[in-house]
């Protein structure tokens, strides 16, 4: 039996998600816990989305629209692209797995800067490809020359996260254009994951839709799991050149996006005032947390997303101590960044609890 799984899966580690609240309550005998480990949007959904969910739930005995026609139309209007350039799937990982199944043949390679979202490498491996990992620079910026030089004859794509998870930094406009143009010359696809794009307010940020309109070798990934607050319904999408979108359609899972998710996503797109409010409230809380943490004397990295990355000499000890107090954060070791923890910006009362317990843990561990 050991010889039956694909041989190239031996170098792949299973993805380790953030711990569920119920598990932590059970392990530590707690009555409650706060979840600040998965970069979810904790704010309540708008009423329009709730009503769409309730309406769609009354017809779950029927299969969903396999083409997600209405959702693709809504997305194309929202993004200003053709419906034929829009693909949808079960979250970002669902889109990625299908995308690489459509593009990658055994022996093909994909370049991935590290550290970043681990699912990129898992998706490549699932398609039979191999990864070339390029370390980020010390300030977490992209080593563009090294990325390009790692692109050989069998390189199908480069995958970057912008803003990057778990570091929170962005690739600035000119750097992203430079990378995309140089990859286009090599006929290499640039896949840009913009899961956190809606949180960015920096004018140096180049929106992926704008990049997509300028060049022919770009795929832009986005999700309803973050600022839209639909993480539990698993809706991801991408805009891609038509030949790639057509290939995606040939290998996608027929009913990968459920009916409730489609209805909720369409309703959520119509609530842009709500999304703006969520962005503003999140940034206010993020900046407040950043100030308090800096005043504690810890190193907090600048971020453009809805999370904070904190460097600590005893990160594992801090992580475990916070779990014991019912504060669930993310151990950076799980994301390829030892000596850090990543903290989602939650509701104000959740953030207060984290800051209080974090301060107590630091004092107990000696600063």
pLDDT in tens, 106-126: 889 999 999 999 999 999 999
Residues 6+ apart with CB under 8 A from 282: 41, 199, 227, 306, 345
pTM of the model: 0.94
* CA–CA gap between residue 341 and residue 235 (Å, rounded): 27
Let me know how long the chain is.
Answer: 367
Q: What is the CATH number of domain 7-44+273-365?
A: 3.90.1150.10
* CA–CA gap between residue 191 and residue 209 (Å, rounded): 12
| Boundaries of every domain in the chain | 7-44+273-365, 47-271
Percent of the chain with pLDDT over 90: 91
**Distances in Å between the alpha carbon of 84 and those of 113, 205, 248, 268?**
30, 26, 11, 21
Percent of the chain with pLDDT over 70: 99
Q: At what angle do helices 69-79 and 259-269 cross, to 10 degrees?
A: 20
Judge contact between 59 and 218, C-beta under 8 A: no
Q: State the sign of the Cα–Cα–Cα–Cα dihedral 115, 117, 123, 126.
A: positive
**Residue 81, by phi and psi: left (phi above 0), alpha (psi -120 to 50) or beta?**
beta
If you ran DSSP here, which 8-state letter would residue 136 be given?
Answer: P
Element of type H or E holding 279? helix 272-295
Residues 6+ apart with CB under 8 A from 341: 309, 310, 312, 315, 318, 319, 322, 329, 330, 331, 332
Each residue's pLDDT tens digit, 216-228: 899 999 999 999 9
* CA–CA gap between residue 37 and residue 115 (Å, rounded): 17
Nearest Cα residue to 238 out of 294, 315, 157: 157
The whole-number pLDDT of residue 6 equals 75
The whole-number pLDDT of residue 9 equals 73
The whole-number pLDDT of residue 367 equals 63
Q: Strand 189-193 to strand 155-161: parallel, antiparallel, or no bridges (unpaired)?
A: parallel
Nearest Cα residue to 196 out of 128, 283, 269: 283
Residues of the chain predicted below pLDDT 70: 11, 367
Angle at 289 between CA 230 and CA 92, to 5 degrees: 25
Architecture of domain 47-271: 3-Layer(aba) Sandwich (3.40)
At which residue do the structure tokens 């000119």 appear? 174
The whole-number pLDDT of residue 366 equals 81
């Amino acid at each position: 039996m050991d010889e039956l799984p694909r041989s190239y899966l031996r170098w792949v580690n299973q993805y380790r998600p953030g711990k569920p609240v119920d598990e932590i309550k059970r392990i530590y005998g707690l009555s409650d816990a706060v979840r600040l480990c998965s970069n979810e949007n904790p704010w309540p959904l708008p009423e329009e989305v709730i009503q769409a969910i309730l309406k769609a739930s009354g017809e779950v005995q029927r299969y969903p629209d396999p083409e997600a026609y209405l959702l693709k139309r809504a997305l194309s209007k929202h993004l200003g692209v053709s419906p034929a350039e829009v693909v949808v799937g079960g979250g970002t990982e669902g889109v990625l797995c299908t995308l690489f199944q459509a593009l990658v043949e055994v022996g093909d390679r994909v370049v991935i800067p590290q550290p970043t979202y681990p699912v990129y490498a898992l998706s490549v491996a699932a398609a039979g490809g191999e990864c070339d990992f390029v370390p980020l620079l010390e300030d977490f910026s992209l080593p563009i020359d090294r990325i390009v030089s790692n692109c050989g004859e069998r390189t199908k794509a480069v995958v970057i996260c912008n803003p990057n998870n778990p570091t929170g930094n962005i690739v600035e406009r000119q750097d992203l254009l430079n990378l995309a143009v140089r990859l286009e010359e090599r006929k290499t696809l640039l896949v840009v994951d913009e899961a956190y794009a809606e949180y960015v307010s920096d004018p140096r940020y180049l929106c992926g839709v704008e990049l997509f309109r300028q060049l022919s070798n770009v795929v832009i990934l986005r999700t309803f799991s973050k600022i839209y607050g639909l993480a539990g319904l698993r809706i991801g999408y991408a805009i891609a050149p038509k030949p790639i979108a057509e290939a995606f359609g040939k290998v996608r899972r027929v009913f990968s996006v459920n009916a409730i998710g489609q209805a909720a996503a369409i309703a959520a797109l119509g609530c842009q005032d709500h999304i703006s409010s969520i962005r503003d409230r999140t940034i206010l809380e993020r900046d407040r947390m950043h100030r308090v943490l800096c005043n504690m004397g810890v190193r907090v990295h600048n971020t453009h997303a809805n999370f904070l990355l904190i460097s600590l000499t005893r990160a594992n000890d801090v992580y475990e101590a916070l779990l014991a107090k019912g504060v669930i954060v993310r151990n950076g070791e799980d994301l390829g960044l030892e000596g850090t923890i990543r903290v989602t910006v939650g509701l104000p009362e959740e953030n207060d609890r984290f800051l209080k317990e974090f301060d107590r843990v630091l004092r107990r561990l000696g600063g």
